[in-house]
Structure 1
Amino acid sequence: MAMLKLLRAPLKYIQGKDSLLNFYEETKNLGSSFLFICSNSGYKNCHAKIEKSFENTGSKLHFEIFGGISSNSEIEKMRKIVRDEHVEVVVGVGGGSAIDTAKATAYYEKCPVTVVPTVTATDAPCTGLSVIYKDDGTFDKYLFYPKNPEAVIVDSKVIANAPVKFLVAGMGDALGTYFEARACSRTDSPSLENGGVTLSAMALCKLCYETLMEYGYQAKLSCEKHLITPALEAVIEANVYLSGVGADNGGLAVSHSVYNGFTVLEECKNTMHGPLVAFGTIAQLILEKAPREELKKVMDFCYKIGLPMTLKQIGVTDEKRVNIAAEKACAQGETVHNLVGDVTPGQLYDAILTADLLGQKYFK
C-alpha cells in the first residue's frame, strides 16, 4: 500500500509584539495550574509579561529554571514537579532545549504543552518531536509525539531583543527546509511524521525559502538594532512556523545528517545547530548537482547574513576529521539516505570539501 499523505501542525500559532500579555487568554482552556520550564534568559525576559496576563485569574504558576540541556535526568526532574504539584499544563520558555524538555515532560505526564520561544535559533517550537540528549550532552534519540503543541506564542519584542546570532542560526536551520523536503518528495521518503509529503507541506517549505531570500538580510539588520519591522516579523514566522511545520511534514535529508555528523567532532561542540544545517545544505546541493544559479543564490545568502561556508567557520581545521563526520552522517537510519541514488561517506566527504572550496572563494 502506498504511503498515506499527512500534515500536522500546532493547534494555535500566535505571533506579534507583546503577544505574551495574551498568554492567559490563549491558554486558559487548557487548565489552571502551569509549570513553566524556562531557560535563564527565558525566565528573565518573559515571566513578568506572563504573570501580568494571569493577574486576578486564580491560576497557579510555577516557574522552574532548567539545567540547560534536554537530557533524560532533566526530564525526570520536571516530571516529578508535575506530579508533586498536580500541574495541568506544561510550558517551555526558552530555546530548543527548554522547549524539548517541556514537550517530553508533558508527553510522559499526559499534559497539554504550550511553547514560548525566546529565540528563533531552531524550528523546535512547532514540531511534534524532541531531540533528547544523554546526560553527558551527546545525542541520544529523537522522541516523536502523537501530536504537536497546543499553542505556540511568539513575542516579537522578545525575539528582537535577543542576540542577532540566534536569528541568523534560525535562518540557517530554515534554509535547509525546502531543499530537504524536495529531496524527500523526489524519493517518496517519509516526513518526520512518517507520512507522505502533502502539497500543503511543500508550499510551506517553498514559502519558507522565498521569505528568507526576500527578507532575511533586512530582518538581520533590524534585529541588530532591536527594531520590529515587517521583514523581521516575516523571518520570525519563517524560522518558527514555516520551517517547523515544513520540516515536520516535509522530511529531512543531507543538511540535518551533516549536522548530526559534525556534532561528534570535539571542535564543533560550540557551533550552533542552524549554521551547521546551512553548511550541510550547500553540501546537499552539490550532491544533487543543483543548477549553478540555485547554488550561487544559496551561497550568496549565506555570505550576506553570516552563515558558515567553510570548514574553518564551523571550527574544523583538519580535513581528515571530516571523514569521521561523514561516516557518522551516513550511519544507518540517517536522513542522508533520503537523497536520490543514496549517499556514501566518500561522496559526502567530497561534497563537504567542495563546499569548503567554493566557500573559500568568497573570502579571497
Structure 2
Amino acid sequence: MQTAPHQPSFYWETTTTTTTTPPWQVEGIVETIKRLGCKTVIGSGGGKAIDTARAAAHLAGLEFVSCPTSASSDAPCSALCVVYTPDGKFDHYMLLPRHPTLVLVDTAVIARSPKRTLVAGLGDALATWYEARTVAEARSLNFFGGAPSITGTALARLCRDVLLADGAEAVAALEAKSVTPALERVVEASRGAGSFSRPRANTLLSGLGFESGGLCVAHACHNGG
C-alpha cells in the first residue's frame, strides 16, 4: 500500500482465531502486536472481533479504537470484554481500567449490515432503561459496584425514548440500505460513544446507561446468573 509523504504508513498482518477467542489466542495476538511495534490497536467487526482486539490492546498496554460494523449491541464503547467458554457460552466479563480512546461508527457501513443485527441492538438498548430503573429503585449497585448515577439513569431513559421514536424508521432505512437521521440517532443510542452532535441511542446512550445504571434480569437470564 502506498501513501503520500505526509500520511502515516499502515501495515497489517492476518491471524486466525476462533469465535470464542480463548485467553491463549489473545496472548498470541499480543505477541504479534509487540513484534510489529504497534502504537494503537483498532478492533473492527462484530462483538467478538472487537472484544478480542480490546483485550489484546489492554494486555499490550496500548490505546484501543473501537470500530463496529454493525449496531448489534452497546458493548463497543464499554470498558469490558466478554469471555466465552470453548463451546461458545458466556463465561465471565473481563473488566478493564479504561474505555476505548475512540469509538468510530460509519453509518454508511451500518446501513449495509444484516437487519437482524440492528434489531438485536434495539433489544439490547431498550433493556438498558428497564434494567437501570430496576437497579435504581432497588438501591442496588451498578456494573462497577457503585451507586447508579442520576446522569446514567437519565441517559438510559433517553435511550428508550429515542428507540421508541425512531426505531421502526431506522429499521426501514436499513432495509433500504439508506442512511437517515433516524438510523443515525438509533445507532448512537445502541452503540456507545464517539463524536456525535445529537442524541443517538443504540450505541452511546445505551453504553453509558448500562455501565452507569446497572444490569438486571435481562443480562442475568442470558448469562445464566
Q: Distance in 2 between matches of 1:135 and 1:222?
A: 37
User: CA 1:125 to 1:66, structure 2 compared with 1: closer, same or farther past 3 Å?
Assistant: farther
Q: Distance in 2 between matches of 1:93 and 1:230?
A: 23
The structure with higher relative contact order (CA 8 Å, sep 6+) is 2
Q: List aligned pairs for 1:229-308, cutoff 5 A.
A: 229-240=180-191, 241-261=204-224
User: CA 1:55 to 1:105, structure 2 compared with 1: closer, same or farther past 3 Å?
Assistant: farther
Q: List aligned pairs for 1:35-114, cutoff 5 A.
A: 56=5, 57-64=7-14, 66-67=16-17, 68-114=19-65
Query: Which residue of the partner structure matches residue 156 of structure 1?
Result: 107
TM-score by length of 2: 0.88
5+ unaligned residues in a row in structure 2: which ranges? 192-203
In structure 1, give the amino acid aligned to 2:106.
D
Shift of 1:236: 0.3
TM-score by length of 1: 0.55
Q: Distance in 2 between matches of 1:66 and 1:189?
A: 41
Asked if the contact 1:99/1:117 (under 8 Å) is kept, the reply is yes
In structure 2, give the amino acid aligned to 1:98.
A
Decide which structure has greater helix share: 1
User: CA 1:169 to 1:66, structure 2 compared with 1: closer, same or farther past 3 Å?
Assistant: farther
Shift of 1:105: 0.6
* Deviation readout 1:156-198 (Å, 9 max, x if unpaired): 0000011111100100111110010111111222211222111
Q: List aligned pairs for 1:7-22, cutoff 5 A.
A: none
Q: Distance in 2 between matches of 1:61 and 1:69?
A: 26
Shift of 1:202: 1.0
Query: Which residue of the partner structure matches residue 123 of structure 2?
Result: 172
Matched residue count: 211
Q: Distance in 1 between matches of 2:136 and 2:16?
A: 38
SS in 1 for 2:11: strand
User: CA 1:190 to 1:172, structure 2 compared with 1: closer, same or farther past 3 Å?
Assistant: same
Asked if the contact 1:72/1:133 (under 8 Å) is kept, the reply is no
Query: Which residue of the partner structure matches residue 195 of structure 2?
Result: none
Shift of 1:66: 4.6
Larger Rg: 1
